[in-house]
Amino acid sequence: MKRFPKVWFGSLSLLLLFVFSWGFWGETIVDLDPRAPLSPHIYAAVSLAVWMAVGHLWFQRVPKAQALTIILLGAALVRGLLLTTDPLLSDDLWRYLW
């Protein structure tokens, strides 16, 4: 049972770091310009890929019920981040349907 708080702390910290990386990627997409350098976009994409790989390795050690709870919390946080951005590819009707 001593390992249980470590698993939650590691899972939640991994989740928060992933959400912040995802938010950074979303912020770089807003400023997308054909004349802009691609470096920030490449950094954001690589950081997302790294967090996905680390998350895959981490969640193999976590019990399935706990992993599902953390994944659902992460999905809710990501949807919350999407509400603060402008809809670039759709109108407001589709934004409020989900």
In this structure, what DSSP letter does residue 48 have?
Answer: H
Tell me the pLDDT tens digit for each residue of 26-62: 676 666 666 766 666 677 777 777 877 877 777 777 7
* Angstrom distance (rounded) from CA 30 to CA 39: 15
pTM for this model (two decimals): 0.40
Q: Where are the domains of the chain?
A: 3-97
Predicted confidence at residue 1, as pLDDT, reads 45
Q: How far apart are CA 9 and CA 15, in angstroms?
A: 10
- Residues 88 and 32 sit within 8 Å (Cβ to Cβ): no
| CA distances (Å), origin 58, targets 27, 67, 78, 84, 86 | 27, 10, 19, 29, 33
> What span, in angstroms and rounded, lies between the C-alpha atoms of 76 and 82?
10
For residues 9, 12, 17, 22, the Cα torsion angle rounded to the nearest 10 degrees is: 170
- Look at residue 74 in the predicted model and tell me its pLDDT: 81
pLDDT exceeds 50 at position 22? yes
